[in-house]
Each structure stands twice: as C-alpha cells, then as structure tokens.
Structure 1
Amino acid sequence: MVLTARLCAASVLALAGSYVHAQEAGSSEETVQAEQPSPQPESKLNDLSLDELIPPDAVNNAEGWAGQENAAAAVEAGVEDVSDAAEEQLSSPTDPAVSAALDGFEIPEPARLEPDPEVTAIAEIDAPDLVELPELVEFDVSNELILAFPNDNDRFPEQTEFIDRFKALSTIETLESGEDTVPQLAARARADEALLIEMLRTYGYYDGEVVRQLSGGRRGGDDDSEAVDTDPQVRFDVLPGERYAFGEIDLGALDTAPDYDLLRESFAIQSGDPLQSDRIIAEETDLRLTLGESGYPFAAIEAPSLLIDHARNEGDLSLPVQPGGKYVFGGIASDDARFLSGKHLSRIARFENGDTYQASLQADLRRAILATGLVSSVTVQPREIAPPQDGEPGQVTLDVDFERAPLRTISGAIGYGTEDGVKLEASWEHRNLFPPEGSLKVRGIVGTREQLASVTFKKNNFRDRDQVLTVDAYASDIETEAVDARTVALRGSFERISNLLFQKPLSWQVGAEVLYTDERNRVIGGIERPRQEYTIFGLFGSATLDSSDDLLDPTKGYRVTGFLAPEVSRSLGAETFYLRAQGDASVYQSVGSTVLAGRVRGATIQGADAGLIAPSRRLYAGGGGSVRGYGFQGIGPRNDLGEPTGGGSLVELSLEARIQTGFLDGAVEVVPFIDAGSVSLGSTPDFRFIQYGAGVGVRYKTSFGPIRVDVGTPLNPTEFDAPVVVYVSLGQAF
C-alpha cells in the first residue's frame, strides 16, 4: 500500500520555517501580497524546486500567503472572517502550482519492526513493591558495634535473647583496639553480617534482611603525618520481616509405639507454631528422653531436616523415629561374677525385674558401680532376651562389662600442727578382700599427742544400696586440750549414708560399742592425779534430714541431725547409767553471689552428774568444727588450777558469709565468721561462761569440694588460749 499525501501550502511553509530564521513579527498582509510570485505556467512548475516555489518572505506569514488567492473571493462571497477563508483554502488548496508540485508525491509505508526479546523481557518485569521501612531503635553492643531493630517489639519479640546471643558469638566483640583494627573491623563486620542472617533464620525469619554500615576509622598516611582515627563503628539494621511457621510434621514410625500419645506430647511442636531451629533440638532431646524413660531402649532417631517453602512462609519438619519396641528389665549379667556378681549388682540397682526400662536407671547403675572404687571403667548395655508380642512388652537384660581397678592401697602422711604437734600416719587397705565389696584396712598413727593402731572391716552396699556395715577395733593413747586417755575399743555400726554421688534427704546410723579406757582430765597445774579406769558399753543412733543442694558446699536449704547414745559405765565398782543427746541444725541462703550460713548445736548428758562420767564422754567446745579461735576441746569448765573438767551441757552458735570473688575464675571465696560457745557443768545450760571467736577464711573450690583455710582469734580469751588458730580441712565448716 502506498500512502499519497497532499500537503497544503501552510504545512509546506511550516516545514520550511524550521530552517529559516523567523523575521520580526508584524509583517503586513499587503507586503506579503506584493512579494507573492506571479503565476507560472503549469508545464514549468514541475521543474521548479521547493525554494523556488515558496518565496523567502512567505515564511514570515505562511497563513496569509496561503490565503491571498482566496481573500478576494471570500469578500465577494460575504465571508467576513478571513481566517475562515484561509482555513477553507488550507483544507482544499486550489493553487495550481502547489497542486502540481504535490501531485504524485508518495510516502511509502514503513516496514514493521521485528520485536526485540530483551525489550519485551524488560517490559514484562513487574514494578517493585515499595515497602515503607519501620522506625528503628538502636542498641549499643559496644563502642564499635550498634544493632538497630524495629521499634515495634511485636515484630521481633525475641530481640533481647537475640542480642545476648549475638554478643556471645560476634567476631567484632573479640576485636582488640589499636591502629590496625580498621581493616579487621571491616572484615569481621562481613562475618557478623552473615552471622546475623543465620541467626534470623534460626529464629524463623527467612526473609529477614541485615543492612551493614561502617563509619569512622580513618588511617594515617605512609609518613604518619596524618592523624589516625582508631574509633571505627559498625551498625547493623536488622529487619526480621515475617516469621515463618512450622508446616507439616513427620515423625516417622513414632505412631507405631504403644505410648504414642505420651511420646507425641513430649515432642511439643505442632503445625502452625512459630518456627525456631533451637526448639527442634530441644524437643528432639525431650523425645529421646521420654523414649528412654518409657521403655524403649532400642529407639533410634535420625537427624532432623527442615524444608522451607517461601511461597507458604512455612517449614516442613521431618524427624525419622523408629521406636524399636517397648521393654521391661529382665536381670543383670556381670562379665566377672566372682568379683562383682550379677546378684550383688542387682542389690545396687534401683529397679526390680519387671519394671519398665528406664535409661536413667541404667545410667544410675553404671555410676553406682564406679562409686564402689573397685573398677576403673564400666559399660552397661541392654540386650533383648524376649521380644514384645501380643501387646506385651519384651524383656532386656543389662550386660555389665568392667575393668578391675587396683585393689590395694598403701598411704602415708607426715604433718605438724600447733594442737597435735608432730604426727606420722600410715595405712594399708584391700578394698575387696572379702567379695563383694568387703574391705580390710590397717592404720597406725605415731605422734606427739596421739598414738593409734586400728583394724577396720567394712562391707559397702551391704544387703542394699548405700548401706554400710563397719566393725572397728582399735587401741589409742590420745592427749587433747582436755583429756588424756588410753583406750581399747570395739565398735560396730550399720548405716545408710550420703555420699558425693548420691546425697540423700534422709541418712541414719545405728550401732554399739564397748570400750575399756584409762583416763583423766589433762593436768595443767602440775599436781598429778591418778588415772581412773572405766568400762563402758553403749548403743547409739543418729538421723539426718538434708535438704541442702550440695554435701560439701551447700548454697541453700537446711540440715537437721539428732543423736542419742544411752550408755552404762562401770568404774571403781559402781555403775552409772546416762543418756548423751545432741542436736545440730544449719541453714543456708544465697543472697546474690554470697551465701549466708548459720548453725546451732545443743547437747546434754542426762541421768548422771558430769563428775561420774569418764572425761572423754563429757562435753567440750572449741576447734574448727565448733568455736573457731580456740583449740580442740579448749572451751569448758575448769577447776581452780585452770584444768579442764568438761561439762554436762553445751550450746554453740556460728554465722558466716561465703562471699564469691572473681579470683581464679570465681574459684576463691572469702568467708568472714563469728562463733560462740558455752559449756556448763549441769545438764541444763546456764550460760555463765560464753567464749566468742571471730576471723576470716578462704575457700578454694575444686571438683571434689572446697578446700578450707580459716584463721580465727578468740574475742574474750583466757590465759590458756592462743592468740591465733589456723584450721585446714576439706569442705565447709558446717
């Protein structure tokens, strides 16, 4: 198709006007008419150029020039508005020259362009959605680091926990200040940016963004002529976005377990819950624990996987679980029955055959075997002996494999103390001479104030867990601050004990003893008095209620102990019956990092005057576990010569503050203390004489308990008391 165009004179002149400078406006119509070219023969018009057809002055008044020819006709026709005539002329030009020039003037139709794929692709891109950024609030993590979060806490309720966690993991926080820290800060800022993004995903914010900004920190020139700015700063704008939720939850074959409802309840994640990776780990641990405590020794759980669907803003969790069947205990098998038989191990165990299998009871058995001190290593593994069937659980036996530890021990010690003088001690022990767990120990002491020889038989875990049978025979010659006694004794006890591994809320002891002793109160005045012989038989028993949180280093709770010992004593042909009784109570309370501890003790001898009782069975106070600042048995009634006589009643009080310090990573405590004690001659305290002691101690905490060093001084000393006394022991004073 060819497009034929007839251009009016005004259009042609307008085209020409783009190349010719317009003259001043106001050229008259008459001037334009005077300059109008005369008509040319039509035969010659075709040979004329466009510049020849259009005079230069026509450019100044194209409309006027185009309408000259029809102006007169318009007047004759009664057309008042010349512009209307001009418009009519423009719409249908009658100038033969112009018509002849435009006849046959054709403009070809342009070819259609092929579409450009790149342009098309760009056109199809949707315009980005412009989101208004929330108002941010800053948190100064350190001088070098700032975090900014949305001011609306509902957008990120985990903000406080998030900041604390970031502080612990941030590489910037480990940056040391100095002139070379600026490039390090920039590098570590990139690492922290990746850390923040990963942490956002951990909390379920998979569309979160982190904007990093580094400012300050300009380094000096090579010649060090420029100042160095060593205070760079990094700011992270943390924009959590929308939090994802848990989608589908797949727990493998868990639904085949008989206790599915209980097990599923232990894995508390449900579809629609806010997504958090930490919670997956915690709930998986809870599920493992519930499986192990509900009778599933062979349960297997594979690693969890999380499939994130950004279209749904959800994560589908898969945790393949194979319960492996439910079982009960069916016995214990020892790999060395002559050493520790399966029957004895069953006494140690805290379960009976037929009880539902529990992983904690299996672990407890292992710890109890280690606590015997007879083995160096032990493994306990469940083994199926009967499979589950007909809805009934199967049975497993626990296979116990262990390595024997060295059974014989030879030990020795040498020391010196202001109270004891020089002391040499040696012992030999065989811890399984009478299997199972029957030990024999021979001990001897040679010292300035003490000589002793003893043989002790002990049967641990006797007839039941943590029950101990002890028989001790000894001969001693001991001189304390108050008593000089030579004794031969046989003592037996049966007790249920607390120990470092298994602290018990109730422990008790019962026993009996018979002894022959030749003794007197210590002679200080220089007047020798004869020794007196006593034959004593007694029964004794004690019980302790313990709610404290640690056996050697309690920080809260209380302890209450009661002791009773009815005895009969025969001396100089006369028999004396009496009852020794004592009560102890202590309480512990934490106040911040400090532990406040208090103790009270009361004791009495009922039924006989103190003078009729052997001096070693009377009551005294003083020492590291009594009133600090005084020697052992250094507090009590004295005669006119200043010699101790002992009493029939006792009262003690102690207060101390165990103050935590930062020394050696918090292993050191400083302990100021004050103690008081009173011993009376009668069986009822009269508080006529009270001794006070005070001082300060240091505790160094170890894995087996605190090592105690106390330095005490008497506040109202007598002539027999030293100005300073030092005590060293394991564990707290009470």
Structure 2
Amino acid sequence: MQVSSKGVLDGLVLTANRVVTGVTLWGAATGCVWAADPQPYVTHLESSGQADLDAALKSSSDLLNLQATHAVGPFALAGRVRSEYDRLRSALESYGYYEGTVQISLHRAKEKDAVVVDGTSPALSDWLNGVPAGEKVTADITVKKGPLYHLGSVTVVDPKTNAPVSLTEAQQTAFGLKTGQDAVAQAVLGSGGSLLDVWREEGHALAQVDKPRAYLKPQTHTLDIVYPASAGPVLNIGVIDVDGLKRVHESFVRRRMTVQEGQLYQPSKIEAARQDLSSLGVFSNVAVKDGSTKPVNGTMPLDFTFKEAKRRSVGAEAGYSTDLGARVGATWTHYNILGNAERLKLTALITGLGGSAQQGLGYDVYADFMKPDFYSRNQNLSARVEALRQLFWSYRQTAFLVNAGITRKIDKHWNVNFGLAAEQEKIEQFNVSRDYTIISAPLGATFDNTGVGNPIEPALHGVRASINATPSVSLGNKGSGTSFFAILNASASTYFDLAHLGLSKPGRSIIALRGMIGSIQGASTYDIPPDQRMYAGGSATVRGYRWQGVGPQYGRTRYAIGGTSLDAGTIEYRQRLFKSFGMAGFVDAGQVGSSSMPFTGTLRVGAGGGVRYYTPIGPVRVDIAVPLNRAYRGDKWDLYIGLGETF
C-alpha cells in the first residue's frame, strides 16, 4: 500500500508494509480499586546505540517529554501510548531505518503477571483504569533499528511532462543527492531547497521544486527518490515598486538601492539590498517580494514595502568611575530631519561629579549631524559643534570646537576618514592661563571583521584596528606661541573564543587583547597645548590609575604633565555565567614618555576584575582595578561603571 509518512518525512510517498507491534502489560486486575486521575508514570527509553538517533527519539517521544508537565488520566494516557508508535517510527525513518520496530511495555512494580494486547486494544485503557490511585506506572520503550536503507535511483523530473531534468555540475553539487548514500530524511528534503536556491540565484525567479516522492524497496533496502522540479526562464529584475514612504524621500531610497532594473534576478543581492535599507535606521520594517507570479516582458518586478520608524527619540546618558566621577545628561535625536535619513543628535552632559581626577563640575554640550550617501554611496558626512568645560587636576579647560569629516566605506571591513577641525580654548595649568587656536586635519582608517554592528554589543571573534594621523597647528594667542605638530596613533584589539579549543560553549569564554601606540612629531611637550598631549590611565588605557595618572608627573602629585609618546596593552578574560550574568578579569600595562619614540617612560601596571549584567542592548559593566606599582600615593583603587565592554 502507499502511505504518507509523518513528521520530518511529511510529503514523501512511501510504498511499504508496516510491522504492527503490541503493548506488553504487566499485572492483572485484582479487584475493584479507585483508578488514578491523573495517572503518574515514568518512561524509560532504551538507547539505540546511535547518539544522533537517540536524540531524535527522545525529542519525538511524548511519553518521555510530557510525563512531568502534562499529567493525564488513564484514557488519555492510553491514547498517548498508542500514538507513540507513529512518532518513534517517524524518527527511525528520518534516519533511514524503514523496517524498525517499537515495543512499549507497561508494568506496575507490585505485579508480575503479563498480559499481551495489541496497541490499539481497549484492554490498554481497562488495565490503566485498574491501577490504584497513588501508584506509578513504568513505560519501557525498546526500539530496534533494523537494516539501514540507502538511496537507490535519484531522478529530477519536470512536474508537467514527467520528463527527466538535466542539471549542470553546479546544480548537481547543490542538489547533493547520490545513489548509495544513507536515506536520511533531512538530506532528502533539504536537497530540494538547495536546488531551488541555486536555480533562483542563477536568475530562475519562477523556479519550482515540489515535495519528493519516495519508493521503498525492502528487497534491496533502498529508497528511490523522484523530485518534481522546474527551473523556468532566466529573468532580470523588472519594475521596482516602492510603497509605504511618508517622510523619507523616494528619490533617496532609489539612489540607495543596491539592485536596479535590468540586473539579473538574484535573491541574495535582493536580500542584501533590503538589509542595507533597513540599516539606515529610519525604517521599522523593510519587506520585498516578487511583484508577479509570471514573467513580465522577460523580467520579474519587485515590490519594496516600507514602514517608517519614529522620527524622534529622547534618551538619558550616565556613567561613573572614581577618577572621572559621574556624568549624567540627556540626548534628543531626530533620525530623518531633512527627509534623506539625516540624523541630528543633541546632547547635554554634566561631568566631573566627585571624581578623584577632577577639581569641580564641568559640562559637555554638543550637536552631531550625519548625512548618509554624501555625494556618493557609502560615503557619510558628519559634523559636530561642541562646547565643553573640564576641570582636571592636570589642567582646567574651556573650549569651543567645530569639526566636519567624511567617512567612506571602501569594502566590507575597511573604512577611511578625513576632515577638518578647529578649536578655540582657554587652558589654565599651574595657575597660568593660555589661549589656543588649533586647526587640524585628521586622517584615518579602520578595520573591523568582528561582525558586530552595535558598538555596545561585545565582540566574540575577529579584529578591530585603527590608524590615525592628525597634522595640527596651534596658532599664537595670548600667552602661547605658534607650533606645528602631528599626532600619530594606532590601536588594535582581537577576540578569541575558547570554544575553538573545546574548553567552553561558543560565546561563553572569550580572551580579549588590546594594544595601542602613539607619538607626537614636530614639537616638544611644552610647545603642544596640554589637551593635545598624550596621557594614560583610566578605563581607556590602564585601569587602576586615575585619568591621566600614567606618565610624567610633577613629583609624586596628582598633576600630570603629559607626554609625546604612548604605548599600552591589555589582556582580559571574559566569562559568561548563566543567562544574564558574567565576569571578567584583566591586566593593563602602559607608559607615557617625553620622547617622541614610544616604549619610553615608566611602565605602570594595573589589574582587576568585574561583573557583567547582559541586557538586550548590551552588558552593564562594573569593574574594580588596583595599581600594581603606583606613582602617586592617592592611587589605591578605581571603580568603573558603564554600558558595553571597555573595548
């Protein structure tokens, strides 16, 4: 007879005779008793000797999976037992065992007599009704695999003509089915999807792959497969329809699209275009589908549908460390201010609340503007106007800054940036005030293959690196002369998952390494404005030392001079615990020198650890660090609280 298989083999038509097995019932009725309702029971599933098959059997067994969470009465339990056969046989068939048998034995611990009945017999319910209340029933399941079936003939046919379909080498490789391989359902059913994917990627927009037919041959223990499939014509992308735009300009969306009319129809590139539009941050949903069920002048139209996100948001910003103190403030963001996904963000912060490196309260107020696709795709314009006041022990600064720059994506991992910046500031250091006007032209490049788009989300693998050069001129103002200098720095971090060594589960145990190096060329320390010099100490370089606490100091005081070279490194171990918690341990080391050559000065080392609480937007970090060879007696320990990892 022909029967339709269940579960993972749904859709295969099988020709076979099934072996019907019975239920062995241990124990006879001994009189009138009150039956249990619900009837407690425990299930023992004997191993088949094949780990992956055992996992499938356990997953398929309702007797096993529902015994603790879905208690039922005797009648319903009898139904669960009877339906167990089909579930377990489906699991056997999914691994190529089409002659496997299943035996279920039910018994009570106090009874020894055995009665054998068919699995569908009413005697099963009667026996369960005779089990006294409070007594558990044990269900022993034994599975015999039988012979392993292999694939016999494998044929792809046209569903209309039933004529064989010829596949190219690439299509056959994607299809993957070959005579003689194990008749595993996942491979059989998955091959159709793989063939459909490769056809569509070759431009066959209307390719069709139906569910396969399978024919059992018990005499040879083989399974013949017939796949109805049709490639259809090769099509290009036709008219692209855009719907749902309200405040985002359609012209911008069409310029942004990475697929165009007349291009070969390829689902991977269409999906990449959809994801790229989603990444703009102005849409809550972007969907794309074929615009027709048949070719239109040799093309396939596409329908893009957009749902715009809220244009504005208000947020709060906060952080704390014992050296820089607390910083609190608010942000307001408009995500589409001119209709082309331009973003304007306004931020106002109060800084220096109680920090050991601070002499008092400061502020940081700025406006950020970003325009995507500035004169070219993958080229963004960013600009900032900022006013700030910082009252460090090293210097007291009041400044107004303006900068603008262009960031260009040159491939999947590399970005380059260049721009101009101007700063007018007044700096008081050691009771001497000087005014500076600084003009600079920063240049840089970054590399990132960690695959993490959100900067707050921890990286688990890959490398991040950057290199920057900032030619600058400090124009002569009151109390200061004119100087020319160039700030050069580079940094890199990498992340290694211990799962690669078999020591943990993926993403649970990470070793993170960071290194940085910097040099200022063209001027000596005192010819450079204090805020342009190099400093170390704090969460960005060497934890355990206060902000700007590493490098040349005035004696053993908290007054930092700064330097013209820097190098620092970190090794950090991150361990995730449970679902939402984690911990970290780290060692930082760094030095700042008065020479323009790095690796000079006094090396300072800090160490510490912390805890993490993982939220949907990133981990909340709490770290404590201590200096191992402190220079200033006030440096004893530091506490850092923030969102996201330090690097």
Assess same fold via TM > 0.5. yes
Question: 1:649 matched to which residue of 2?
Answer: 565
- Describe the shift of the 1:282–1:386 C-alpha distance in structure 2 as closer, same or farther (beyond 3 A): closer
Are 1:369 and 2:269 counterparts? no
Shift in Å, 1:570? 1.7
SS at match of 1:683: coil
Asked whether 1:240 is paired with 2:146, we answer yes
Given the alignment of the two structures, is residue 326 of structure 1 paired with residue 234 of structure 2, yes or no? yes
User: Residue 620 and residue 490 in structure 1: after superposition, are their counterparts in 2 closer, same or farther (change >3 A)?
Assistant: same
Distance 1:329 1:702 in 2: 41
In 2, distance between residues paired with 1:438 and 1:258? 51
Q: Quick one: structure 1 residues 620 and 208, their matched pair in 2 at CA, closer, same or farther if it must change by over 3 Å? A: same
Give distance in 2, aligned partners of 1:424 and 1:239.
66
Match of 1:677 among 590, 596, 613: 590
Equivalent pair of 1:253/1:323 in contact (CA under 8 Å): no
Aligned CA distance change for structure 1 residues 688 and 453 (closer, same or farther; 3 Å): closer
- What is the alpha-carbon distance in structure 1 between the residues aligned to residue 109 and residue 416 of structure 2? 70
Contact 1:175 1:181 in 2 (8 A): no
**Deviation (angstroms), 1:695:** 1.3
Report the CA distance between 1:358 and its aligned residue.
1.4
Query: How many angstroms apart in 2 are the aligned matches of 1:324 and 1:454?
Result: 57
Paired position in structure 2 for 1:252: 158
Q: Which residue of 2 aligns with 1:603?
A: 518
CA RMSD for the aligned pairs? 3.8
Length-normalised TM-score, structure 1: 0.68
Aligned with 1:298: secondary structure?
Answer: coil
Q: Which has the higher helix share?
A: 1
1:304 aligns with 2:212: yes
Are the counterparts in 1 of residues 380 and 407 from structure 2 also a CA contact under 8 Å? yes
SS of aligned partner of 1:574: coil
Please state whether the residue corresponding to 1:619 is helix, strand or coil: coil
Q: In 2 relative to 1, CA 660–427 (structure 1 residues): closer, same or farther, beyond 3 Å?
A: closer
Tell me which residue corresponds to 1:514. Answer: 422
Aligned pairs for 1:81-230 within 5 A: 144-148=44-48, 159-171=50-62, 173-174=64-65, 193-212=85-104, 217-218=109-110
Task: Name the SS of the counterpart of 1:147 in structure 2.
Answer: coil
Tell me how far 1:246 sits from its aligned partner: 4.0
Structure 1 segment 255-274 matched on structure 2, within 5 A = 262-274=170-182
Aligned match for 1:427, one of 320, 323, 331: 331
> Which residue of 2 is the match for residue 569 of structure 1?
474
Matches within 5 A, 1:450-465: 450-465=362-377
- Structure with higher Rg: it is 1
Establish whether residue 546 from structure 1 lines up as the match of residue 448 from structure 2. Answer: yes
Query: Alpha carbons of 1:720 and 1:660: their partners in 2 closer, same or farther (altered >3 Å)?
Result: same
Query: What is the CA distance between 1:652 and its match in structure 2?
Result: 0.8
* Equivalent pair of 1:331/1:346 in contact (CA under 8 Å): no
Deviation, structure 1 residue 218: 3.8
Counterpart of 2:465 (choices 560, 567, 575) is 560
Corresponding residue for residue 579 of structure 1: 486
The Cα shift of 1:204 comes to 2.4
Q: Quick one: structure 1 residues 465 and 396, their matched pair in 2 at CA, closer, same or farther if it must change by over 3 Å?
A: farther
Equivalent AA in structure 1 for residue 475 of structure 2: R
User: Identity of counterpart residues, as a percentage?
Assistant: 25
Do 2:625 and 2:637's aligned partners in 1 also have CA atoms closer than 8 Å?
A: yes
Three-state SS of the structure 1 residue aligned to 2:590 is strand
Contact 1:333–1:342 under 8 Å retained in 2: no
- Tell me whether 1:505 sits opposite 2:396 in the alignment: no
Q: Is the 8 A contact 2:320 2:642 kept in 1?
A: no
8 Å CA contact 1:177, 1:230 repeated in 2: no
CA contact (8 A) 2:518 2:598 kept: no
Q: How far apart in 2 are the matches of 1:633 and 1:474?
A: 22
| C-alpha contact 1:148 1:235 (8 A) present in aligned 2 | no
Q: Contact between 1:378 and 1:401, CA under 8 Å: does it hold in 2? A: yes
Tell me how far apart the structure 2 counterparts of residues 252 and 481 of structure 1 sit (CA, whole Å). Answer: 81
Picking from 435, 440, 443, the partner of 1:533 is 435
Structure 1 gap ranges (5+): 1-141, 150-158, 221-225, 522-527
Alpha-carbon separation, structure 2, partners of 1:285 and 1:726:
54
Q: Secondary structure at the match of 2:343?
A: strand
Matched with 2:12 is none
- In structure 1, the partner of 2:357 is none
Aligned residue among 384, 388, 395 for 1:476: 388
Which TM-score applies when normalising by structure 2?
0.76
8 Å CA contact retained: 1:348, 1:464: no
Separation in 1, partners of 2:109, 2:628: 62
Q: CA deviation at 1:620?
A: 0.8
Partner Cα separation in structure 2 for residue 217 and residue 689 of structure 1: 77
1:439 equivalent in structure 2: 343
Deviations 1:561-618 (A, max 9, x none): 2111111112346321111111112222222222222111111111111111011111
| CA contact 2:460–2:510 (8 Å) conserved in 1 | yes
Distance 1:397 1:481 in 2: 65
1:409 matches 2:301: no
- Provide the C-alpha distance between the structure 1 equivalents of 2:141 and 2:387, rounded to a whole number of angstroms: 78
CA distance in 2 between counterparts of 1:310 and 1:385 reads 42
Measure, in 1, the Cα distance between the counterparts of 2:136 and 2:245. Answer: 72
Structure 1 residue 718 displacement after superposition = 4.1
Q: Secondary structure at the match of 2:291?
A: strand
Deviations 1:698-734 (A, max 9, x none): 2334444433322222223344645332223333222
Q: Which runs of 5+ in 2 are unaligned?
A: 1-41, 113-131, 353-360
Contact 1:332-1:346 within 8 A present in 2 as well: no
Distance 1:265 1:687, change over 3 A: closer
Q: Larger RCO: Structure 1 or Structure 2 (Cα < 8 Å, ≥ 6 residues apart)? A: 2
Partner Cα separation in structure 2 for residue 232 and residue 567 of structure 1:
82
Q: Tell me the residue number matched to 2:627.
A: 714
Cα separation, partners in 2 of 1:167 and 1:496, compared to 1, 3 Å: farther
Residue 495 of structure 1 deviates from its aligned partner by: 0.9
Q: Is the 8 A contact 1:349 1:364 kept in 2?
A: no
8 Å CA contact retained: 2:318, 2:327: yes
Question: For 2:482, what is the secondary structure of its paired residue?
Answer: strand
8 Å CA contact 1:366, 1:378 repeated in 2: yes
Structure 1 residues 548, 493: CA separation in 2 closer, same or farther (over 3 Å shift)? same
- The residue identity in structure 2 corresponding to 1:668 is F
Find out whether 1:295 has 2:207 as its counterpart: no
Q: Which amino acid aligns with 2:622?
A: V
Query: How big is the shift at 1:373?
Result: 1.9
Where is the strand percentage greater, Structure 1 or Structure 2?
A: 2
Change beyond 3 A, Cα 1:321–1:475? same
Contact 1:714 1:721 in 2 (8 A): no
Quote the Cα distance in structure 2 between the aligned partners of 1:687 and 1:182: 80
The code of the aligned residue for 1:434 comes to L
Contact 1:631 1:721 in 2 (8 A): no
**Counterpart residue number, 1:128:** none
Does structure 1 conserve the Cα–Cα contact (< 8 Å) formed by 2:445 and 2:466? Answer: yes
Q: 1:182 to 1:241 in 2, by over 3 A?
A: farther
Aligned pairs, number: 560
Aligned in 2, Cα 1:626/1:721: closer, same or farther, shift over 3 Å? farther
Q: 1:269 and 1:309, CA in 2 relative to 1: closer, same or farther beyond 3 A?
A: same
Aligned partners of 2:46, 2:473: CA distance in 1, in Å? 79
Residue 165 to residue 481, structure 1, CA distance change in 2 (3 Å): farther
